[in-house]
Each structure stands twice: as C-alpha cells, then as structure tokens.
Amino acid sequence: MKKVIMGNHALSWGAQLGRAQVIAAYPITPQTQVVELLSEMCASKALDAKFINVESEHSAMAALLGASIAGARTFTATSSHGLALMHELLHWAGLGRLPVVMGNINRAMAPGWSIWADQNDSLSQRDTGWMQYYCASNQEVLDTTIQAFKVSEALAIPAMIMLDAFTLSHTYEVVDIPDQDKVDKYLPPFQPKLRLSSDDPHAFGGLTSPEHYYELRYKLQKDMERAPALIEKTGQEYEKMFGRRLGLAEDYQCSDAEILFITSATAGYTARVAVDALRAEGIKAGNLRLRVFRPFPFDKVREVAGRAGRVAVVDRNLSWGCHGIFYQEVKSALYGHTDGLPIYGYVAGLGGRDITPETFKEIARDALSRKKNEPAEEIVWIGVKR
Amino acid sequence: MKKKKSLERIVFTSESEFPLMPMSLGTMHYNRTGAWRNIKPVIELDKCIQCGICWKFCPDVAILIQDEWPVVDYDYCKGCGICAEECPPKCIAMVEEEK
C-alpha cells in the first residue's frame, strides 16, 4: 500500500508494523506527530500496545527500561532537549543491553532557542552505547525502524533513528507501507536474552565491582563490532523481501570521484543532486552518505574513500573546540589507510540553515582549489555572514 | 536480622561466562536492608484510623497489613520516615534505633 505521509508518521508506521508492545513518550516539537499517531493507533487497536503517558522524557525512557527487561518490544521518540533529559537513562539502556528503539528528530540545542535541524543533540549521545541511524527519506525511516528492531534485539543493543527537523520530519513523501504478514516474517517476536520474571526472579543492574565491570564493557564493544555485518545482512534480507536495500552507507557515483562528499541525513540526498550538476560541468564528484554512525562503518569508509582524489566531509554539527564530528571520525577511520589523501572538514547548516546543491558546489570548488600537499583545513565554514 | 547471612559469591574467570547485565542470583529477599536504619517507625495503634496510607506510601513495601492493622516489617524498613510524615492522625513516631 502506498501512502503520502510525513517523516514523523513514517516512524509511527514503522513502530506499528514492527509490533511495538510498549510505548512511553512525551511530546516535543518537532517530534509530536510521531506519538500522536501512535496513541491513535493504540486507541483504535490497530496497534496492540500499551501506551504510557509520562511526565518527562526521563520517565519515558525509565518506563521502557522496565518494559524491555520484562520482555516487551519497546519504542519511543523524542528530540533535542528531550533527548538531553534522557541522557542518564540512555546509559541504562545501552549498558544494560536493552534493545529499545527510539526515533529522534535532530533539532538544534538551545540557547538560542531553536526548533530547526542540527545534529548536535544526538551526537552528544554518541557514547551511551546506542546504535545510531541517520535517515534521508520517509521510506528509509519506515524501513529502518523495522530493521532496527531486528538488529537491536539480535545484539541486545538499543538504537536511535534520526530524522532532520522539518526537512524530513514534516516533509510529505510517498511511502510504500509493507504488508503486516511480510513484516512479521522478517521480524519475528522479541526473544529477550535476559528477562525479569516472577518464575525465575533476579535483580538486574546491581553493584558491580572492578573485578567484573570491565568485562561487561568488553562484551558490549565486541557486540557493537558485530553490528556492521549484521546491519548489512539484515539490509540484504530486507531488499530480498521488500525491494529496498538498507546498508551501512549509500554510495553514489563514487567509483571515479576526484571529489568525494561524505554526508549524512537529508544533506546526503541534496549532495546527490549536486553530484549530478557537478558531473554535468565535467567535475567528477561522488557522495558517500553514512546511514549508520554507531557502530562506525570503518570498512565502508576506507573502501570508498580509498578510491577518491579528495574527501570533503560535511557536518551539520560541531564539537566545540574541536571539529565537525563526522569529520573527526572519518579522519580517524582513514588514518594509516589512505596515505596522502586530502580530507577537508566543512561545517554547514547549523540550526537549520538550508544546505542546498549550491552549498555542495561551493564545497567542491573550495576543496578542488586547495593544493594537495598543503595541510588540510580542519573547519571550513560555509555561508557564515562575516 | 542480627545474624549476617553468608553470601554466595561467584567470581567469573572469563568474559564469556558473564551475563549481559549484572544480575542477582535470585530474589533480593536475603538482603535485609533494615540493618541500614538509624531511626525506626513505631505505630501507636490506639490512634490509628486504619486508612492504609502508610502501607500505600512505603517505598520499600515494609509496612504490611495484618488483620486490618499496619505492622512494620523491620527486616526491610530503612527508616526513611515517609509513613510518619504521611500518617493523617500522626500515630507513627520515628524513634532512635538502639544498637
């Protein structure tokens, strides 16, 4: 069935098709429609789930931790300051190995008060032990939600799915909504690895001495390292059943790129338009859009960037006092793998400033004008009014 | 409660033996948290109106209702004093614990 739906509703449909069993959420612009539709789905029994109204995002995540350890498939959605308020409990889910799936609408942190697109909210949660997916279309949002349940439950690692505020969350697109029975075949019911049950009672997450804590973290990292292969595998299974590939990254015209953009989220689709325009001008451009940021897709980045002439990483985020965050990670992934490859860091679109095909053309012109043997510039600001 | 129960202690030697999340061997029943208490609630039943508010508010489920009257389970009461604070006729006194 095809429907014209907004990005936020693609998350709701993904949660319904994924048969989430417990949903606890607190509304925040620009996420509100996600849980509005989910509450309607629960009320009409289209989705057989318990919907818990809570007084804060902190409580929303706390409720899901309990539901998840009791064996329920859990879903929530938030944005920006709501995500920041969850911060402590994100660790409880990540380090507690509870496969909660959450939509996060990427919205700038205040002050200045803003409701527009910016990735610093979710990237500030980088080290909480969650997988992170960044989406570029409403279809991808729905498909990724279903895939995220499957991957998260197999590895006992939670996942957040990112949508750019308004650029994706409030944009209406045609979305193919798969049949429930096919989704059920792809995604069987949740089989928890640990379970709170009165039949076999245990208390979870208690005091852990230095004798044991270290190994728990080792296990989490080892399972995170298994995630890239599993994301590719479940993405190929998804393609077989539904015709759409869900990999770690999407490469576009990368095989002979003299200038390779590395992008994420909706800017990654805008980049494809710019790649076509640049190629029409005779400039061999390419675009690698990272769908997954945690676990970081090291092999994919090394493979694609290894063939490029120059790399321009475009960040809608910034680690203050350092660099664009994807730029830092791409550089660290390529260190020792691509000798002499110039890698430039571009910061654009903070706080919802538009990133357009012209932005990418400007980036390409800048990157190609630099001397190859000069030290790469770490932050090039695009479009700052100076 | 005075007698300290010897705890079963497990030391893992390899990460492969670990559960994904630390977990107790069974219920926490053995963990008699009443030993943490400095002050204890004492209920004066003559003034008690049997409203059940102390039972409802106790965060440690340490007030039981027996034959329709509240009884403190001193094995688990940590002495937080919420029952005394919430009791409408103020019939619960918090008394210094004697060691």
Q: Do B24 and A211 touch (CB under 8 A)?
A: no
Residue with tokens 């007030």: B63
Q: Do B18 and A202 touch (CB under 8 A)?
A: no
Residue B2 has pLDDT above 60, yes or no: no
Determine the residue among A216, A217, A222, A224 to mutate to test chain B binding: the one whose Cβ has the most chain B Cβ atoms within 10 Å: A216
Instruction: Identify the closest residue of chain B to A207 by CA–CA distance.
Output: B22
Structure token digits, residue B22: 């630390």
pLDDT single digits (tens) A245-281: 999 999 999 999 999 999 999 999 999 999 999 999 9
Helix A7-17 to helix A138-155 angle (10° resolution) is 40
**pLDDT number for residue B98:** 81
Residue B4 has pLDDT above 60, yes or no: no
pLDDT single digits (tens) A176-198: 999 999 999 999 999 999 999 99
Instruction: Identify the closest residue of chain B to A196 by CA–CA distance.
Output: B23
Q: Do A203 and B18 touch (CB under 8 A)?
A: no
Q: Do B22 and A194 touch (CB under 8 A)?
A: no
**Which residues have a Cβ under 8 Å from the Cβ of B7 and sit 6 or more positions away?**
B30
Give CA–CA dist A366/A371, Å, rounded: 10
Nearest to A93 by CA among A109, A77, A107, A74: A74
Q: Is the ipTM of this complex over 0.95?
A: no
**Which residues have a Cβ under 8 Å from the Cβ of A243 and sit 6 or more positions away?**
none
Q: Do B24 and A203 touch (CB under 8 A)?
A: yes
Other C-beta atoms closer than 10 Å to the C-beta of A198 total 6
**pLDDT number for residue B82:** 98
Q: How many Å lie between the alpha carbon of A220 and the closest alpha carbon of chain B?
A: 8
CB A289 within 8 A of CB A269: yes
Residue A51 pairs in a beta bridge with A23
Q: What is the DSSP letter of B92?
A: E
**pLDDT number for residue B3:** 52
Q: Do A205 and B20 touch (CB under 8 A)?
A: no
pLDDT > 90 in chain A, percent: 97
Low-confidence ranges of chain A (pLDDT < 50): none
pLDDT single digits (tens) B13-36: 899 999 999 998 888 888 899 999
Computed over every residue of chain A, the mean pLDDT equals 97
Instruction: Identify the closest residue of chain A to B18 by CA–CA distance.
Output: A216
The torsion angle over the Cα atoms of residues A218, A220, A221 and A223, rounded to 10 degrees, is: 120
Q: Tell me the residues of A at the B interface, defined by beta carbons under 8 Å apart.
A: 96-97, 156, 193-194, 201-208, 211-212, 215-216, 218-219
Residue with tokens 């069974």: B26
The torsion angle over the Cα atoms of residues A232, A233, A235 and A241, rounded to 10 degrees, is: 160
User: In chain B, what residues touch A218 (CB-CB under 8 Å)?
Assistant: 15
Q: Do A193 and B20 touch (CB under 8 A)?
A: yes
Cross-chain CB nearest to A203 (options B18, B19, B23): B23
pLDDT > 70 in chain B, percent: 90
Residue B6 has pLDDT above 70, yes or no: no
Other C-beta atoms closer than 10 Å to the C-beta of A190 total 18
Cross-chain CB nearest to A202 (options B12, B18, B23): B23
* Predicted structure pTM score: 0.93
Structure token digits, residue A267: 């800017």
Instruction: Identify the closest residue of chain B to A215 by CA–CA distance.
Output: B15
